[in-house]
Chain A
């Protein structure tokens, strides 16, 4: 991934620091947007979609930690690198609690800055890949009927066709039809691929939304159908 693919939001109330840090990042190929306050950044963060944020902790009005909290509360999971000119233990603890990707104690070198930004960008990239995979699976899952989703979940859990038929009160032949349709819609060419896909879907059953290319993708109702089918089957078995 090239630095130019990443957009870094630099937030600091000290203009010379913002300018110098932004210039250092730009020189090394990153795209940069600068903000003089936490509020200024929050006002634009939804439309900006930065790859990562570099924010000073101590700022008037809204400090970096509060800004990060507010962004998270709004659904953002952009990695944040904090900068601090105080560097006491309590600040480090607070930054870690706020989910800091890294914490830079001022003054820092360009190498330390780039290292922290690279790590945050990689983290953001991994998260982006994950989000794309989840979004693709959700889109595929949305094509399944509730019955197909139930069959897919029970088959992927290791149950035989006749066990699935008994659990759902349908014939084994009908199960086979639903299973074949579910595999086709989920782009699974084998049972192993179906199991992997369903496992990935059910890894975070409470996740409701992911952000891809500036668009929010919501989880389909069939995901809940899968979860309910598995819960019911487990209860019956017990």
Chain B
């Protein structure tokens, strides 16, 4: 046990660890200020520290350069202790565009006391975009640290990416529409061709002197079949755009889902979205209109793909089917949304809701704070077909 006084023991420890001797109070303050200046200057953005009244008590070189670049010389040269907000107000009153812009950003920050960080993009005539961030200074006398980051190139790239994504989406939609129209056109032109041929043949035969009803009856019978084919094709078209009474049969939900997933794989791939299907347990059957069910599943998945976050690793749409208490089957589509939706329901989900209503099914949408979305439709496995209504 040592008999040395505490100060002597501390001195001996410093010698042992080769620590520099303690600084005088004035020297320590000066060194802290210099250290803070170095730290602030090392930050690539623009930083100013303000007290509770808006007086500047520290800036970095970037901040000074920023204000020089914008022609705010007076603010750039502002001495420590000058009120930043007042100087901005004066500059704004004298018609300085950039000062107004920065002031607006600060007012927005100050006006929102519930948030500790506020970001605002400030545009200017030379197309430079700045993002302002404010955070409280955690110290007894309070204050605020204001940083500005030049996000011009980032915003330009983001806008270009957004435009490219929109163009891609439009092109994909056009391609899908084109394929659909091509298919319908083909299905209409085939029976119209045979109908035209048969009617003209009948006409030709009837003009012959030896024309007999028996020679034309077979051709007319074919013409009637052709007309029926045309009507069927038109009915398919009508069913696509109009509501109709569901034609209920037993449908294997998993097969419908598999078929739609297969159909949409290329669409998902084009948008860098992984589309995956999970089946829990045996094949589940529900009583539904197959066409309407296809339409609902297609709309569900298209809606999810279109709204998915396309960041690497996040772009994943999953569809799963599972039995619920024996009398119902749940169809769940989950994905990570790109941005928070205003009302959770686009055109695609309206179609799903309409089909679900017609089948006595239910639709629920859960969206968590981290934008994870789960759309669940619950379908009855069997139902009195007379109970359905549109």
Identify the A interface with B (CB < 8 A).
14, 16-17, 19-21, 23-24, 27-28, 58, 83, 85-86, 88, 106-110, 113
Interface size on B, residues (CB 8 A): 22
Closest to A111 in B: B200
Distance between Cα atoms of A109 and B198 in the complex (Å): 10
Which chain B residues in 203-238 approach chain A with CB under 8 Å?
A: 204-205, 219, 222, 225-226, 229
Asked if B201 contacts A110 (CB within 8 A), the reply is yes
In angstroms, how far is the closest chain A Cβ from the Cβ of B183? 10
- At the interface, yes or no: B342 with Cβ under 8 Å from chain A? no
Q: A85-B185, A85-B186 are in contact. Are A24 and B200 (CB under 8 A)?
A: yes
Report B257-285 CB contacts with A as 1/0, cut-off 8 Å: 00000000000000000000000000000
CB-CB nearest in chain A for B200: A110
Contact flag A85-B193 (CB < 8 Å), given A27-B205, A110-B204 = yes
Sample 27 A-B pairs with CB under 8 A, ordered by A number. Answer: A14-B190, A14-B194, A16-B225, A16-B226, A16-B229, A17-B194, A17-B197, A19-B194, A20-B195, A20-B222, A20-B226, A21-B193, A21-B197, A23-B201, A24-B197, A27-B204, A27-B205, A28-B204, A83-B193, A85-B190, A86-B185, A106-B189, A106-B193, A107-B193, A108-B193, A109-B200, A113-B197
Beta-carbon contact of A109 and B196 below 8 Å: yes
Residues of A contacting B201 in the complex (Cβ-Cβ under 8 angstroms): 20, 23-24, 27, 110
A20 with B182: CB separation less than 8 A? no
Q: Is the interface of B mostly helix, strand, loop or mixed?
A: helix
Q: Which residues of chain B have C-beta atoms less than 8 A from A17's C-beta?
A: 190, 193-194, 197
Alpha-carbon distance A21/B222, docked complex (angstroms): 12
Expressed in whole angstroms, the minimum distance between the Cβ of B195 and any Cβ of chain A is 7
B254 in the interface, Cβ–Cβ < 8 Å?
no
Contact between B195 and A107, CB atoms less than 8 A apart: yes
Given contacts A19-B194, A107-B189, 8 further A-B contacts (CB under 8 A): A16-B222, A17-B197, A23-B198, A24-B200, A85-B189, A86-B182, A107-B192, A109-B200
Q: How far is the CA of A106 from the CA of B188 in the complex (A)?
A: 9
Q: Which residue of A lies closest to B225 (CB)?
A: A16
Q: Check if B191 is an interface residue, CB within 8 A of chain A.
A: yes
Chain A: CB-nearest residue to B178: A88
Residues of B within 8 A of A88 (CB): 182
With a cutoff of 8 Å between Cβ atoms, the chain B residues found around residue A113 in the complex are 197
CB distance from B276 to the nearest CB of A (A): 30
Compute how far the CA of A23 lies from the CA of B194 in the bound complex, rounded to whole angstroms: 10
User: Which residues of A are found within 8 Å of B229, using beta-carbon distances?
Assistant: 16
Per the bound structure, the CA–CA distance linking A58 and B190 in Å amounts to: 11
Please give me the residue from chain A that is nearest to B223 by CB atom: A20
B233 to chain A, nearest CB (A): 12
User: Which chain B residues border A107 with CB–CB below 8 Å?
Assistant: 189, 192-193, 195-196
**Cα of A85 to Cα of B219 in the assembled complex, Å:** 22
Q: Is the CB of A86 within 8 A of B197?
A: no
- What residue in chain A is nearest B203 (Cβ atoms)? A110
For A86, the chain B residues whose CB sits under 8 A away are 182, 185-186
Q: Is the CB of B186 within 8 A of A110?
A: no
Given contact pairs A27-B204, A27-B205, A107-B192, A20 touches B186 in the complex (Cβ within 8 A): no
The CB with the most chain A CB atoms within 10 A, among B186, B194, B201, is that of: B194
B299-323, CB under 8 A of A: which get 1 and which 0?
Answer: 0000000000000000000000000
A19 in contact with B189 (CB, 8 Å): no
Q: CA–CA, A88 to B179, complex, Å?
A: 12
Q: Which of B200, B204, B222 has the most A CB atoms < 10 Å from its CB?
A: B200
Cβ–Cβ contact A20 & B198, under 8 A: yes
B225: chain A residues at CB < 8 Å are 16
**CA of A40 to CA of B207, assembled, Å:** 36
Give which listed residue, A23, A28, A110, contacts B219 with CB less than 8 A.
A23
Please state if A19 and B195 are interface contacts (CB–CB under 8 Å).
Answer: no
Of the candidates A14, A20, A86, the one having the most CB atoms from chain B within 10 angstroms of its own CB is A20
